């Protein structure tokens, strides 16, 4: 794996976003911005983050994610329900933060609108991300979240990640500061 933000292998530039039985993982579109802003403004969705996002912050995040996918061919894909075309949130792969264990490897992550919880969508999308990462020679995938984020940790465990470490997030204070790290080897 190479430096943060740089495409590290040819596949990262060329991979075609995958589909699953119920979902499409794809590049972001302008029409995603409105439902993404609603999701990011929902205090329940954002309860394990320091604060909900404003419309401007949400749009800026979507643009950073879109650029990363454009440059690297992989990233936090927009998640669409195949049967309706509805935007559900994101699931995908992103570089691990530099401050953390697993730095230099890819992190798997997810954020879905509340109406889409409890249906196995995050797990289904994440398993597809692991499958194509493994197929393209990615040796291991990591994930991190606040220690209190039980639903996210449950997804990590469902897709076969195992606990590695606990560490305080350097930029977060209060009850959300303690974070946990999980990983899974793919080879
Ligand atoms: C983390 C998050 C994506 C988890 O969503 P989720 O819907 O609980 O996770 P899954 O997609 O794995 O769904 C599993 C649930 O769907 C149920 N389910 C229903 N139909 C299913 C199906 N066909 N297949 C699998 N599971 C199904 C499971 O029983 C399980 O329910 P349970 O939680 O009551 O046990 C969601 O809580 C979220 O978006 N949170 C806010 C953002 C966030 O914190 N992200 C992580 C930050 S690091």
What string of pLDDT tens digits covers the 187 residues of the chain?
A: 334 444 455 445 555 668 999 999 999 999 999 999 999 999 999 999 999 999 999 999 999 999 999 988 889 999 999 999 999 999 999 999 999 999 999 999 999 999 999 999 999 999 999 998 998 889 999 999 999 999 999 999 999 999 999 999 999 999 999 999 999 999 8
Q: Is 13 helix (H, G, I), strand (E, B) or coil?
A: helix
Q: Kindly state if the Cβ of 114 falls inside 6 Å of ligand 1.
A: no
**8 in Cβ contact with 18 (< 8 Å):** no
Please give the number of the atom of ligand 1 that sits closest to the Cα of 146.
48
Q: Tell me the H-state helices in the chain.
A: 10-14, 33-41, 55-72, 121-135, 150-158
| Per-residue model confidence (pLDDT) at position 14 | 53
Ligand 1: centre distance to CA 112 (Å): 9
Cβ of 23 closer than 6 Å to ligand 1, yes or no, is: no
Supply the pLDDT for residue 135.
86
Which residue's CA is the closest to the ligand 1 atom numbered 47?
145
Whose CA is closest to 89, among 53, 48, 125, 43?
A: 125
Separation of 152 CA from ligand 1 center, angstroms? Answer: 8
pLDDT given at position 13: 52
Residue 26 and residue 90: Cα distance in Å, rounded? 9
Look at ligand 1, atom 25, and give the residue with the nearest C-alpha.
Answer: 120
Q: What is the pLDDT at residue 9?
A: 52
Whole-number Å distance between alpha carbons of 109 and 161? 12
Is 123 a pocket residue for ligand 1 (Cβ < 6 Å)?
yes
Q: Judge whether 104 and 96 are in contact, CB under 8 Å.
A: yes
Number of neighbouring beta carbons within 10 Å of residue 93: 26
- The per-residue pLDDT for 168 is 97
Tokens of 61: 């995040």
Taking the C-alpha atoms of residue 108 and residue 138, their distance in angstroms, rounded to an integer, is 12
Task: Supply the residue whose CA is at minimum distance from atom 19 of ligand 1.
Answer: 119
pLDDT of residue 4: 40
pLDDT at residue 143, as a whole number: 98
Residue nearest ligand 1's atom 48 by CA: 145
Which residue has a Cα nearest atom 35 of ligand 1?
A: 118
């Amino acid at each position: 794996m190479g430096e943060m933000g740089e495409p590290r292998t040819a596949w990262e530039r060329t991979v075609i976003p995958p589909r699953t039985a119920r979902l499409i993982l794809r590049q972001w579109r302008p029409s995603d911005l409105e439902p993404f802003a609603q999701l990011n403004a929902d205090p329940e969705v954002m309860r394990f983050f320091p604060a909900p996002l404003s419309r401007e912050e949400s749009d800026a995040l979507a643009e950073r994610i879109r650029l990363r996918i454009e440059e690297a061919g992989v990233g936090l894909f927009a998640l669409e329900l195949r049967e309706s075309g509805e935007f559900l949130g994101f699931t995908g792969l992103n570089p691990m933060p530099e401050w953390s264990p697993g730095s230099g490897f890819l992190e798997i992550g997810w954020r879905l609108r509340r109406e889409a919880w409890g249906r196995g969508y995050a797990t289904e999308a994440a398993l597809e991300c692991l499958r194509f990462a493994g197929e393209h020679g990615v040796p291991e995938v990591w994930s991190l979240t606040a220690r209190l984020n039980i639903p996210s940790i449950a997804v990590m465990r469902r897709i076969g990640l195992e606990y590695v470490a606990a560490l305080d997030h350097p930029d977060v204070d209060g009850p959300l500061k303690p974070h946990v790290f999980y990983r899974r080897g793919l080879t």
